[in-house]
Structure 1
Amino acid sequence: MLCRYPYLVIAVVFALSACTSNYSEQTIKPIRSTERLNDIWDNHYRFFIGQPTPTHFSVCHSMSCYKISEVSLDKQDWQEVLALFSKTSSAEEERHTIQQAIGKLEILVGKQIGSQHDLARNQIAYNRYGQMDCIDEATNTSVYLRMLENADVLKWHTTASRTSRGIFQGQAPHNTATIIDTQTQTRYAVDSWFYANGTAPMIIQLDKWMSGWEPESN
């Protein structure tokens, strides 16, 4: 089952956001989808840090950004993340390193906000607190990618906007963060939703992802 979200405006927003330029200069925002969420906006959509830094950034959790938490990494943890990129020598190697870095960041963040037990996909063990759907995952992965880009460790890729599939393909809506290979201009989905917290996300060419791709097994 894909990451189902009942409000089609979400998918439209993500699809349109893929067309914007200079993404690295834009503010990252959670998506406010419908008037039905107005009653929880003031309580749960507190200030979201749109220009994240390792010492001060926001993450979404508890399904579709129902909760937003502010997080800070200490210098040693952040340097360990950056050190993963010290030996990358090609775009392919960098994508593999991005997978490792995002998995590590999910572990570090999970310990702070209580999402360390986030299960694959939309599984819920006890309650939804800390569990993440594809809206949360796409937003948080975009935050992590932006911080890596701002740290100048991405030599073969640039960050790109979140995007969606499903609304125009007759599939259930599903969302992902993306990156672009600066040499080939190939765009890749960076999808953390398929696996549990701390597991390396899938990075796959966006065209293939848009066709409905998902891993054979978790």
Structure 2
Amino acid sequence: MRRLCGIWLAVAALSAQADATVAVCYNYGCAERAQVVFADDELEAADARLRQAGSAAEERALLAGVLGELYRISGERSPVGADRAGNLGDWGVHGRMDCIDHATSTTALLELLAARGSLRYHKVLAPARRSRFLFQHFAAVIEELAPPAPLAEPVKVPDHVGLLLFFCDDPGVFADIPPPPVPPPGNPGAQFAVDSWFVNNGEPAVVLPLADWLNGDGPNVQ
């Protein structure tokens, strides 16, 4: 019986280690923080979605939805489920989030995904700030990386190549060897704002070039 209890405790400990906790800010300016625990199967689902990306652009599109889902889960386990796009739609509501709350929390979620190896085409940077007149706005930021080497079967050299090289030393025969796979196009070093303040809780985050975001681009919400 003791042995069975020991095995059960070991399994439970391993399961607990697979979960992850993220501090989610709310009530403006990170006045309060909720420790949101994500189960391993929830994070595995996020990983699986992001693994579908075949390029940096595809990863950004998928990432927007993954962040929305992580915020939806956060809203079930903390007051942030009451958060609405902008500041006016949830003014005075417990669980509301301003851009500081979002920039801080979204960066924490991105860092969690990066630590799990889910982001193959981007790295996480510090949040950015833009100023327009008397107003300031913050957002999380990611930077595109050089694309990883594509996964492919080893290049198969036709049987006749070695034979021809042996008998006639003809370097032109190398043209018969299939070329290696070409990595997907990208723009390494390009930076993007990841702004979840623009949307209601649980909706896909807005991802757009950082230069455009700094210039005031994004949905017209207040």
Q: CA deviation at 1:142?
A: 0.1
More helix by share: 2
Alignment partners' CA distance in 2, 1:125 and 1:185: 36
Do the aligned partners of residues 217 and 175 (structure 1) sit closer, same or farther apart at CA in structure 2, a change above 3 Å counting?
Answer: closer
Matched, 1:140 2:105: yes
Match of 1:181 in 2: 144
Match of 2:56 among 80, 91, 94: 91
- 1:24-58 deviations in whole A, cap 9, x for unaligned? xxxxxxxxxxxxxxxxxxxxxxxxxxxxx952221
Q: Aligned pairs, how many?
A: 164
Match of 2:114 in 1: 149
Q: Which amino acid aligns with 2:217?
A: W
Q: Which amino acid aligns with 1:210?
A: L
Alignment partners' CA distance in 2, 1:193 and 1:80: 24
Matched, 1:199 2:190: no
Q: Which amino acid aligns with 1:165?
A: R
SS in 1 for 2:41: helix
Do the aligned partners of residues 54 and 172 (structure 1) sit closer, same or farther apart at CA in structure 2, a change above 3 Å counting?
Answer: farther
Alignment partners' CA distance in 2, 1:178 and 1:158: 9
Q: Which amino acid aligns with 2:64?
A: Q
SS in 1 for 2:192: strand
Q: Which amino acid aligns with 1:178?
A: V
Q: CA RMSD in A?
A: 1.8
Larger Rg computed on CA atoms: 2
Alignment of 1:41-120 (within 5 A): 54-120=19-85
Tell me, yes or no, if the aligned pair for 1:117 and 1:197 is still in contact at 8 Å. yes
Q: CA deviation at 1:125?
A: 4.0
Alignment partners' CA distance in 2, 1:68 and 1:217: 24
Match of 1:170 in 2: 133
Do the aligned partners of residues 210 and 129 (structure 1) sit closer, same or farther apart at CA in structure 2, a change above 3 Å counting?
Answer: same
Identity %: 27
Matched, 1:190 2:194: yes
Give the TM-score normalised by structure 1. 0.71
Moved more, 145-154 or 55-64: 55-64
SS in 2 for 1:92: helix
- 1:109-134 deviations in whole A, cap 9, x for unaligned? 11100211211100254733110000
- 1:120-154 deviations in whole A, cap 9, x for unaligned? 10025473311000000000100110011001111
Q: CA deviation at 1:82?
A: 1.3
Match of 1:49 in 2: none
Match of 1:15 in 2: none
Q: CA deviation at 1:214?
A: 2.1
Name structure 1 gaps, 5 residues minimum.
1-52
Match of 1:12 in 2: none
Q: Which amino acid aligns with 2:59?
A: E
Tell me, yes or no, if the aligned pair for 1:163 and 1:175 is still in contact at 8 Å. yes
SS in 1 for 2:52: coil
Alignment of 1:5-44 (within 5 A): none
Matched, 1:215 2:183: no
